[in-house]
Amino acid sequence: MKFQTEIELPQFCWKTGYRKRNLFMGSCFTENVGNKMAGLKYPVDINPFGILYNPVSVANGLRFLLEKKKFAKNDLIQNNGLWHSFFHHSRFSSPDAEETLDAINNRIESSAEFLKNAGFLFLTFGTAWVYAYNKTGQTVSNCHKIPEKEFRRFRLTPDEITENYKQLFSEIRQINPEIKLIFTVSPIRHWKDGAIENQRSKSTLLLAIDQLVNELGKENCDYFPAYEIVMDELRDYRFYADDMIHLSNSAINHIWEKFQMALIDEESRNISKKVKNLITAVNHKPFNRQTKEHQQFLTESLQKTQDIQNRFPYLNLASEQDYFLTQLTEIKNIQFKL
């Protein structure tokens, strides 16, 4: 007997890996998977505007990258002693306006270049509910604790999302004709909307994505069923964090394994095992780093790093090589002084 319903994963026409750049944008679920790839040294750029929850905010961010927008002080607002952008997460906010602008504009510049050469664009939508600032009518990505009465709240329709992204994807392909688009819907419930409205919101997103995949064609884009994996494979509160809303590490790891098998090529999965061992070696904390055994460990780890780098020159293991070299140099300097 099977004691778990299992989601059948799509047969994707193409896969990513160490030879492809991957841009992740969207909800915090995007960061869960994106950070898994980053931790294994895959070439990724994750949320250049910070966490974004609704499709309009994600689309706004992508258009800013396409036009390489330069934010100015009149694009910011000040609230509670901080300067904010309505198009960015609060991680970009600062008491100093110039500091906020530097962080925003530097990230747009680097991510715009990344998008031009990206092989994959992963978009995760969290909610179909959006907030529009009453003074401008502009849909915002973050209210930054400004009173709710200053915003109009409404739910997008599937057609509104679809029409927006059909045009947007056409614009993206003008600068990057080969890019592949993967949609996901965040399995994290927006409980403040209530159980019923959360389901309606998620359903709106699912309908819109289904329509987009059908109209844009599976040779260009597809859908990864993260939402369904959590709802049907992980139907147990042991897969949730203490707040019973966000996912536990075991749930994230389960989705990551599914993601790897579905969307990462076999060569890269094999390389990632070697990279993971290197990361473990970097994180190793010896009781006494001046022992011969530890020096031998560092020497062997450095050699393994150099061997992997030489065999797969498209990897970026510079920081790992620097770490092992620095550790060996410091130990030799200490011994010389003694």
pLDDT of residue 1: 65
Greatest Cα pair distance, the chain, in angstroms, is 73
Q: What percent of the chain has pLDDT over 70?
A: 98
Evaluate whether residue 180 is within a structural domain.
Answer: yes
Domain finish residue from 246, 264, 282: 264
Strands (E), the chain: 22-26, 44-46, 76-79, 82-85, 120-125, 129-133, 139-140, 151-155, 180-185, 221-223
pLDDT at 77 over 70: yes
Residues 188 and 253 in one domain: yes
Q: Give per-residue pLDDT as tens, 122-141.
A: 999 999 999 999 999 999 99
The domain of 118 spans 22-264
pLDDT for res 332: 82
pLDDT of 338 over the 60 cut: no
What's the confidence (pLDDT) of residue 149? 96
Q: What is the mean pLDDT of residues 232-255?
A: 92
The whole-angstrom separation of Cα 178 and Cα 4 is 38
In a domain, 3, yes or no: no
156 and 302 together in one domain: no
* Token pair 């008491």: residue: 95
Share of the chain above pLDDT 90, in %: 88
- Statement to judge: residues 238 and 278 lie in one domain: no
Question: Across all residues in the chain, what is the average pLDDT?
Answer: 95
pLDDT class of 155 with cuts at 50, 70, 90:
very high
Alpha carbon distance 145, 79 (integer Å): 8
Q: Are residues 130 and 166 in the same domain?
A: yes
Tally of domains in the chain: 2
Contact between 212 and 203 under an 8 Å Cβ cutoff? The reply is no
Average confidence (pLDDT) over 201-227:
96
Structural domain contains residue 203: yes
**Bridge partners of 125?**
185
Within-domain flag for 14 = no
- 190 and 97 in a single domain? The answer is yes
List % helix, strand, coil for the chain (3-state, nearest 5). 55, 15, 30
Same domain, 154 and 230: yes
* Same domain flag for 292 and 187: no
What pTM value is reported for the model? 0.94
> Domain check: are 257 and 301 in the same one?
no
Long-range CB contacts for residues 129-133, cutoff 8 Å, separation at least 24: 129/54, 129/153, 129/154, 129/155, 129/156, 129/190, 129/193, 129/197, 129/201, 130/54, 130/56, 130/57, 130/154, 130/155, 130/156, 133/86
pLDDT in tens, 263-274: 999 999 999 999
Of 264, 282, 315, the last residue of a domain is: 264
Which of 212, 229, 264 is where one domain is finished? 264
Does the structure show a pLDDT above 80 at 193? yes
Residue 284 and residue 195 share a domain: no
Q: With a cut of 80, say whether residue 180 has pLDDT above it.
A: yes
Please indicate, yes or no, whether residues 308 and 223 belong to a single structural domain of this protein. no
| Tens digit of each residue's pLDDT (9 = 90 or more) over 7-57 | 999 889 899 999 999 999 999 889 999 999 999 999 999 999 999 999 999
Would you say residue 199 lies in a domain?
A: yes
- Residues 166, 73: one domain? yes
**Residues 163, 206 within the same domain:** yes
SS3 label, residue 262: helix
